[in-house]
Structures are given as C-alpha cells and as structure tokens.
Homo-oligomer: A and B are copies of this chain.
Amino acid sequence: MTLRSAFERLAPIPDDVWAVFEPAWEPVEFAKGVRITQAGEHEPYLYFVLDGVQRMFFPHPDGREIVLGFSYAGDFSGVFDSFRTNEPALSTLQALADSQLLRISKADFNAALDEHRCLERWLLTFTERIFFGRLKREVHLLTMSADERYLRLLTQSPHLIQLVPQKDIASYLGMTPETLSRVRRRMGSLRSRGTWSSGT
C-alpha cells in the first residue's frame, strides 16, 4: 500500500498534482513507546503509516487511558481534530512498536488543499469515512455486551489481536483487562467444545 494508492482509494489525484504534493511528505521513525503527539499540545502533522502500530488514547484525569483506536500500515494517522482545528489535541498518539511513518506539515497540507481541489475532495471523503465509522462504533458501545464487542473485533480485525497488548484492546472495547481476560476464557472453552466434538 503506497501513499498514493491510499489517497486514490478515496479520490483520484492527477499526476501533475501528485508530482508537487508527494515531495511535501517526509519519512520519520519512532521507537516503541514514544509519544508521537501529546494530548494538550498541538498536532502539526498528518501521518501515513508505512510500518508499525500506533494507538490513540484519551488521557482521563483519573489516570485511565481511554483507547480510541489504532493505526497500522496503510492507515493515515495523527490527532485529526487538533490538526484541523488548531485546538490543543484531546488525545495522545503513541507508537506501540517501532514505527516508520510519512508525515506532512499542517502548512504544506493546507496549502496543497487550497491549491488542488482534488485534495480537498479527498479530505472530505476521508473525514466522512471515519466519521460514519465512529458513529457505528458508538452504537455498538451502546447496544452490545462485552462478549459481543470482543467477538465482533475478533471476526472483523483478527490481526489486531496479535498486534497490540490485550489491555489496549480491552480499553478500546470499553472494558477492563480483567473482563477481557474472562471473556476470552469463556469463548475459548466454547470454541474448544464446538471444535473438538464436531471435528471431521
């Protein structure tokens, strides 16, 4: 998944536009654990993930870290609200593994947006996508049990479970690590019973 193909999944970008837009991106690396953007500060970059995994979380005053999502190869990343509104970031972006990213500065991005309408169109589509995605997540959090939410993640994003610590999965699913552990045990025994007894 190249940067360009990631863009063109949402909107076509002509060669001449790409030729001036692409050089504005620069490669950066972050070691595991590093905070790429810190809540309370401003987000000066939009990122594209080449390799690694990151988590975004809201640092609750009581000390909990509410995980809002993950990004990995082929995703755009960053604290979008701060990047777009200039308000301080509400959440922190952190590398969960050594990560290679591309990034573009806010100034370069906004300039390109003004200059090339296709990029503005792209951003509109991109924003709509993630907005509608989060709306669905909101409904799931409000209607599904802990077991259902985990089962859903398990079927829809099985790779994620390998990539990130369970405590972060738990937080992302809106439950404690203890609860997730028990959910997994329940489902494990279910799986076993089904598999062992019905084996070919």
Residue numbers of A with Cβ under 8 A of B are 58, 60, 64, 66, 68, 81, 84-85, 90, 117, 120-121, 123-124, 127-128, 130-132, 134-139, 141-143, 174
Contact = CB atoms under 8 A, between A and B. Distances in A.
Contact of A85 (B66, B85, B132): B132
A128 B120 CA distance: 13
A81 B129 CA distance: 9
5 contacts: A81-B132, A85-B128, A85-B132, A123-B124, A127-B131
Question: How many copies of this chain does the complex contain?
Answer: 2
Interface centre among A60, A68, A128, A137 (most CB of B within 10 A): A128
A135 B135 contact: no
Nearest to A144: B60
Contact of A81 (B64, B68, B121, B135): B135
Contacts of A85: 128, 132
B138 A134 contact: yes
A174 B142 contact: yes
A84 B128 contact: yes
